[in-house]
């Protein structure tokens, strides 16, 4: 969801002698009063890759404006796109990072409002990258069915039939919980009336899964729109066979 307003913990926990968290209005150029330590070389490189991926979501038509968000985990720090800032304006100085507890540890720009969703993935899986988009075909499918029909065997690359997480307000703990249930045993899911979430061991892998999911949704919508015809779907057994075969796919290291 395009970001509007969010609460950002800045310094302290409200105990005597420490400032309390306050609310800032998110938007281009908005900055929090959080920590601004110098990033490591690994974090700086990961940030460059994250910004490139975020810009690619716009170029590939997966998001419009500042909707959607991308994150990468480096150690115990999660780098995320900031709230409401056009991706083509992001620079190395805009690096934004939080700990797994959600407290900002890098930069001063307010993190994405979908931070709860990203952190939920990192806390419960071994993911190193998360991509969230508002892809058109995937979002359309999320309004029609509780699970993407097995229109293509590439569903196996996401762990099985792609589920739709029930709708909840963007940025809410409820949305994060719904997403986690839909992701159980999967590396991607649809968010009802909202978009997509995928994760992976690398940013490239997470992005590729997003692209594959959008393509499958487009394929199903195209096939199911032919008058007087019903798409042939794969069986669960056929999908399981592909899952086994994919274990040997690609180059051997």
Provide the annotated active-site residues: 114
DSSP assignment of the chain = ----EEEE--SS-S-TTSPPPEEEE-STT-B-S---PPPPHHHHHHHHHHHHHHHHHHHTTS--TT-SEEEEEETTEEEEPBTT--GGG--GGG--EEETTS-EEE-SBPBPTTHHHHHHHHHHS--SEEEEE--HHHHHHHTT-SB----SGGGGGGTSSPBEEPP--TT-HHHHHHHHHHHTT-SEEEETTTEEEEEESSHHHHHHHHHHHHHHHHHHHHHHTSTT-------HHHHHHHHHHHTT-S---
């Amino acid at each position: 969801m395009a970001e509007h307003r969010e609460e950002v913990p800045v310094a302290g926990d409200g105990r005597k002698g420490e400032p309390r968290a306050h609310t800032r209005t998110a938007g281009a150029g908005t900055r929090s009063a959080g920590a601004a330590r110098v990033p490591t070389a690994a974090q700086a490189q990961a940030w460059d890759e994250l910004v490139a991926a975020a810009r690619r979501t716009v170029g590939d038509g997966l998001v419009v404006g500042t909707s959607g968000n991308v994150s990468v985990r480096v150690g115990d720090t999660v780098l995320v796109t900031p709230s409401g800032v056009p991706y083509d304006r992001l620079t190395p100085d805009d690096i934004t990072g939080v700990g797994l507890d959600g407290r900002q540890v890098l930069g001063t720009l307010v993190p994405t409002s979908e931070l709860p969703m990203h952190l939920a993935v990192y806390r419960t899986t071994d993911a190193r990258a998360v991509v969230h988009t508002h892809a058109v075909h995937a979002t359309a499918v999320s309004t029609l069915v509780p699970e993407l029909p097995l229109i293509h065997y590439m569903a196996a690359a996401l762990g099985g039939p792609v589920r739709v997480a029930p709708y909840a307000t963007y940025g809410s703990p409820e949305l994060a919980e719904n997403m986690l249930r839909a992701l159980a045993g999967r590396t991607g899911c649809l968010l009802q009336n909202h978009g997509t979430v995928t994760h992976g061991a690398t940013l490239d892998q997470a992005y590729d899964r997003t692209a594959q999911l959008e393509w499958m949704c487009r394929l199903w919508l195209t096939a199911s729109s032919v008058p007087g015809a019903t798409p042939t779907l794969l069986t669960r057994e056929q999908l399981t066979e592909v899952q086994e075969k994919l274990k040997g796919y690609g180059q051997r290291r």
